[in-house]
Structure 1
Amino acid sequence: MKETVLLIPSYQPDEQTLAFLRVLTEASTVPIVVVDDGSGEKYQFLFEEMQTLGITVLSYSENHGKGYALKHGMTYIMDNYPAARWLVTADSDGQHTLADIQQMIDHYLPISGKLLLGVRQFYLKQTPLRSWLGNRMTTCMYYASTGIWLTDTQTGLRKFSLHDIPELLMISGERFEYEMNQLLELPHKGYQLATIPITTVYEENNQGSHFRVIQDSFLIYKPLVTFLFASLSSSIVDLALFVLLSLIVGESAGALLFATSFARILSGVYNYQINRIVVFHSQHSMRQSFWKYGILFLTQLLLSWLGVSWFNTMISSVFISKILVDSCLFIASFIIQRRMIFAN
């Protein structure tokens, strides 16, 4: 009985991909399912060769993205491997070694409620610059969002229980953002994340990757950037009102307190509603979250007034002082709201 199935999404593979799969089929006894993500007629001979190796190949005509391919494969495996207990996903671009894939297959995983990740360690001297920068940014933003420090948020080497596939199919995303959405949504649903170290491999400086820097980066960061947009739009209202009032009432400590308070109250009401409904999709009622937000609001109000007053004595610019202070408060506010106020 085959308890684990290996799922590999593939888009426009090459001879190296075929060579690796040939070695993989010789070394491993688990069923392998490859999803042809609309690679086109030019690449069909490679997928036909895969089938001669005993690999199940699923194909469709148009390219939809990695997330779509993973969901397509998961649905097939759920329907055709009823005796299987676990699913391992891996990339086809040469970034996972045979030993690491086998390590994931052999590693024990509970029947449900846990996600196992094969994580790489990124060192600047050994990693292409765009990959190193992208990974550092995503790791920091993911930590701020969830409180979980994960050194490799983009790893495609993952292990799930087949019981969890219906939950995985409900997660949004059809391209590279799907795997990030897994990491954002599953912990909030009670899933535990476990990691094992794997080898960091970049063949030909990662030139074989189909990752679209601008489009796919936007999709990956979209869940995290939503909060930034809400906060920036609130800050525009806050800053405009503050500057206008400071010009009218002056720049004494008392005047700055009035200007800060009035501007923050109006922008705070807007910010609370957009964060509760749009950003964090809070399932709590307003009564449950409003008093917590109120405490945070008053604390930020006090710290903003004190900070702006203090900085203004050193740099003699209320505008610059406001930007510096509120930029620091923004980071703290995001973490507190995500983890304490609107956490589902």
Structure 2
Amino acid sequence: MIILIPSFEPDARLVQLVSSLREAAPQLQVVIVDDGSGPEYADLFTTAQLAGADVIGYDDNRGKGHALKFGFNYSRKNHPGEAVVCADSDGQHTVADILRVAAQLHASEGAMVLGGRAFAGEVPARSRFGNAVSRAAFKFATGVAVRDTQTGLRGYPANMLDWLLNVKGERFEYELNLLLGSRSAGIRIEEIEIETVYLQHNASSHFRPIVDSIRVFAPLLRYISSSLASFVIDAVGLLLLFALTDSLLVSVIGARLVSASVNFLINRHLVFQSGTHEHVARDALRYVILALALVASSYVWLAVLVDWGVPLVVAKVFSDVTLYIISFQVQRRFVFKPGAVAKAAESYAPPSRLPSRRSTALSNVPSASGITWWLR
């Protein structure tokens, strides 16, 4: 099993983490990705290498997402068949929690394992607020409850690495993209509680509150905005057609045809990213079946509510909010669900070079099966 640590301008806590991991579980292989920290940090990375880690990286800072992909690609090529646990280098993840996530990953039978913080005790206000907003938005957009959407302590089975390399994102948004794409890829998520650690109010974090928050929330906004855009088109179309035809049935069908076409294109290419040409007909057929079912449901809801004296606009909002959750779940699990993990990762070649200080992989590191003695 690989412990992958992306690192940008670290301090002595990185070396301490490597030493503690090697002491607690010497059968694990620690891989550090230097995310372009610069020459002034070369001595610290050399010390980490002497402590037992493989140190790889590149010259220019490219972001956490890129560093993780670089490490995944290295692990896939140099340690085939090994699962990967990712941890941060700033002291927020204890050795005990890293090993607990590794143990859960070993026992999870192919799930993505998250180490979720409880955010108890003294937690910086921006961290507590940011995670609360992210957690609520994620649940609203996907219907999935995750305690800590921003955790950097995660475990991935070996057969997930190809998929990980194909998920979009180069910086902090990458890890949220993984969660957003996991269900459509048929990946199960397991979460265990870990200790909440913030040293010096998280002063060592390289997270930029405004720029990186926009990056992180962009995927969620895509999820939500797709439905909102379709709702606006559908609502406006419904009102216009009803004013012209005075027929509720014609208005519902006409407005839904236009909004459904727009929604299909947005969801396929931007939200669920199922945009391969070979599956257009399959996805379109599934979506048409769903759209017809939604049209029928929408008409029944509107007919009943309008008959009860509810204004058309109010009835429209009520019925569509109810149908939104159903529609999203069906699209994610059935309409745009890919048949298999993409194979494009085979050609993944980051535009970066391995620094000359890279160490040679240890040849006597046991495979993941050798970890069982401390997992019991």
The question of a shared fold, defined as TM-score above 0.5 by the shorter chain, is answered with yes
Task: Name 1:128's counterpart in structure 2.
Answer: 124
1:57 is displaced (CA, Å) by 1.4
- More displaced stretch, 289-298 vs 261-270: 261-270
Task: Name 1:62's counterpart in structure 2.
Answer: 60
Task: Name 2:87's counterpart in structure 1.
Answer: 90
Q: Is contact 2:234-2:255 (8 Å) kept? A: yes
SS at match of 2:62: coil
Larger relative contact order (CA 8 Å, sep ≥ 6): 2
Task: Name 1:328's counterpart in structure 2.
Answer: 321
Structure 1: which amino acid aligns with 2:94? T
Deviant stretches of 4+, over 6 Å: 308-313
Cα 1:72/1:187, change in 2 over 3 Å: same
Q: Please say if 1:280 is aligned against 2:247.
A: no
Q: Please say if 1:157 is aligned against 2:153.
A: yes
- More displaced stretch, 269-278 vs 45-54: 269-278
Cα 1:307/1:203, change in 2 over 3 Å: farther
Give the whole-Å Cα distance in 2 for the aligned partners of 1:276 and 1:20: 42
1:336 is displaced (CA, Å) by 4.0
Q: Please say if 1:289 is aligned against 2:282.
A: no
Q: Which residue of the other structure, out of 141, 144, 147, is the alignment partner of 1:148? A: 144
Q: Is contact 2:64-2:172 (8 Å) kept? A: yes
Cα 1:285/1:31, change in 2 over 3 Å: closer
Structure 2: which amino acid aligns with 1:80? N
Give the whole-Å Cα distance in 1 for the aligned partners of 2:142 and 2:113: 17
1:272 is displaced (CA, Å) by 4.2
Structure 1: which amino acid aligns with 2:116? V
Give the whole-Å Cα distance in 2 for the aligned partners of 1:304 and 1:128: 47
Per the normalisation by structure 1, the TM-score is 0.78
SS at match of 1:78: helix
Give the whole-Å Cα distance in 1 for the aligned partners of 2:307 and 2:57: 63
Unaligned runs of 5+ in 2: 338-376
Cα 1:306/1:172, change in 2 over 3 Å: same
Give the whole-Å Cα distance in 2 for the aligned partners of 1:111 and 1:312: 50
1:258 is displaced (CA, Å) by 7.4
Structure 1: which amino acid aligns with 2:321? C
Cα 1:214/1:258, change in 2 over 3 Å: farther
Task: Name 1:200's counterpart in structure 2.
Answer: 196
Give the whole-Å Cα distance in 2 for the aligned partners of 1:209 and 1:79: 30
Structure 2: which amino acid aligns with 1:225? L
Task: Name 1:109's counterpart in structure 2.
Answer: 106
1:255 is displaced (CA, Å) by 5.5
Task: Name 2:11's counterpart in structure 1.
Answer: 14
Task: Name 2:229's counterpart in structure 1.
Answer: 233
1:210 is displaced (CA, Å) by 1.7
Q: Which residue of the other structure, out of 172, 184, 199, is the alignment partner of 2:168? A: 172
Give the whole-Å Cα distance in 1 for the aligned partners of 2:106 and 2:64: 24
Cα 1:336/1:47, change in 2 over 3 Å: closer
Q: Is contact 1:256-1:305 (8 Å) kept? A: no
1:198 is displaced (CA, Å) by 1.0
1:11 is displaced (CA, Å) by 0.7
1:212-264 Cα offsets, whole Å, 9 max, x none, are 33333333333332233333333443444556678x67xxxx96947963773
Q: Is contact 1:78-1:165 (8 Å) kept? A: yes
Per the normalisation by structure 2, the TM-score is 0.73
- More displaced stretch, 11-20 vs 89-98: 11-20
Q: Is contact 2:31-2:56 (8 Å) kept? A: yes
Structure 1: which amino acid aligns with 2:335? F
- Identity, % of aligned pairs? 33
How many residues were matched structurally? 329
1:97 is displaced (CA, Å) by 0.9
1:133 is displaced (CA, Å) by 3.0
SS at match of 2:31: strand
Q: Please say if 1:270 is aligned against 2:261.
A: yes
Give the whole-Å Cα distance in 1 for the aligned partners of 2:182 and 2:234: 35
Give the whole-Å Cα distance in 2 for the aligned partners of 1:129 and 1:338: 36
Cα 1:143/1:311, change in 2 over 3 Å: farther
Structure 2: which amino acid aligns with 1:93? D
Task: Name 2:72's counterpart in structure 1.
Answer: 74
Unaligned runs of 5+ in 1: none
Structure 2: which amino acid aligns with 1:335? F
Structure 2: which amino acid aligns with 1:132? R
Q: Is contact 1:293-1:341 (8 Å) kept? A: no
1:195 is displaced (CA, Å) by 2.5
1:105 is displaced (CA, Å) by 3.4
Tell me the C-alpha RMSD between the 2 structures.
3.5
SS at match of 2:210: helix
Give the whole-Å Cα distance in 2 for the aligned partners of 1:334 and 1:207: 42
Structure 1: which amino acid aligns with 2:290? K
- More displaced stretch, 23-32 vs 52-61: 23-32
Q: Please say if 1:43 is aligned against 2:41.
A: yes
Give the whole-Å Cα distance in 1 for the aligned partners of 2:15 and 2:295: 57
1:109 is displaced (CA, Å) by 1.6
SS at match of 2:34: strand
1:73 is displaced (CA, Å) by 1.5
